[in-house]
């Protein structure tokens, strides 16, 4: 599947109208089957369907490693996953459809569910220059955004370069793709930087905290609840990272100046 579609657009510019060719980001359905049962249908932007499926299962707590997966295959419009015997069965109602918006995030109960997530104890630090330099490079990684203006991007970095990159109409999907790819490739996401173009909501914060990612970097803003959770779970949240400026909202001890 293509990640964009060419369409005809009637464009008005400086009082003059005319038909032109333009591109919009693709939005496709992806059914996720677990042990022969349709668990959920996601709305996403191709490619990286398998990575998205694995990241989603991680976020939902259905798997903890790729060793929990007995079989994995891709079919048109769907991903089929077979789990190892003995793993807890999904409680998500069958045939649930998650949009590419905020409803596509992690399932948790606040505050009870948060108490099950370990506080990050890492002493890793990143220089402000490293964060800003990688952020500048991150903004140049998405040709799909340049063509359509309709996708979010996410990336994992060690502070010098990128270990994984993904884009999607949904910011939750983009982050899940990152974690799914790292899981499949054997990339350790702990003590790394998670870059995102979207706002840092409580769901994005929890996805990172559960994976042991200590620093989230965003061009956008955090929400109040995400900052409450970040303080509790000891995650550093930075926002409005643009040019040579950024706001460090929580645990600034990880950012050296």
**Residues classed as catalytic:** 102
Q: Are 25 and 3 in contact (CB under 8 A)?
A: yes
Contact of 238 with 249, CB cutoff 8 Å: yes
| Lookup result for tokens 């409803």 | 103
Please count the other Cβ atoms lying within 10 Å of the Cβ belonging to residue 67: 8
Q: Give the whole-angstrom CA distance, residue 145 versus residue 61.
A: 31
What is the rounded distance in angstroms from the CA atom of residue 108 to the CA atom of residue 104?
12
| Rounded-to-integer distance, Cα 51 and Cα 42, Å | 13
Give me the sheet containing 193-196, strands edge to edge.
Answer: 162-168, 152-157, 193-196, 215-218, 236-242, 245-248
Q: Phi and psi for 85 in degrees, rounded to 5?
A: -60, 145
Half-sphere exposure of residue 227: CA atoms within 13 angstroms, side-chain side: 12
Sheet with strand 37-44: strands edge to edge: 69-75, 78-83, 28-34, 37-44, 96-98
């Amino acid at each position: 599947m293509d990640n964009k579609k060419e369409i005809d657009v009637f464009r008005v510019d400086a009082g003059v109208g005319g038909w032109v060719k333009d591109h919009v980001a693709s939005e496709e359905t992806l059914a996720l089957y677990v042990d022969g049962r349709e668990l959920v249908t996601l709305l996403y932007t191709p490619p990286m369907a398998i990575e998205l499926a694995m990241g989603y299962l991680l976020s939902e707590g259905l798997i903890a490693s790729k060793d929990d997966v007995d079989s994995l295959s891709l079919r048109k419009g769907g991903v089929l996953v077979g789990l190892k015997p003995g793993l807890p069965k999904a409680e998500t109602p069958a045939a649930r459809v998650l949009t590419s918006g905020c409803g596509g995030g992690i399932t948790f109960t606040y505050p009870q569910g948060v108490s099950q997530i370990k506080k990050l104890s890492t002493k890793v630090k990143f220089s402000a220059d490293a964060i800003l330099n990688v952020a500048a490079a991150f903004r140049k990684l998405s040709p799909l955004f340049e063509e359509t203006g309709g996708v979010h991007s996410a990336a994992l970095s060690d502070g010098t370069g990128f270990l994984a990159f993904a884009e999607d109409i949904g910011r939750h999907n983009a982050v899940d793709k990152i974690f799914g790819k790292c899981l499949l490739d054997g990339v350790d996401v702990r003590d790394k930087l998670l870059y995102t173009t979207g706002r840092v909501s409580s769901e994005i914060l929890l996805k990172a905290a559960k994976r042991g990612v200590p620093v989230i970097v965003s061009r956008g803003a955090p929400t109040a609840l995400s900052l409450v959770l970040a303080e509790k779970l000891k995650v550093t949240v930075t926002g409005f990272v643009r040019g040579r400026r950024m706001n460090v909202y929580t645990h600034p001890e990880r950012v050296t100046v």
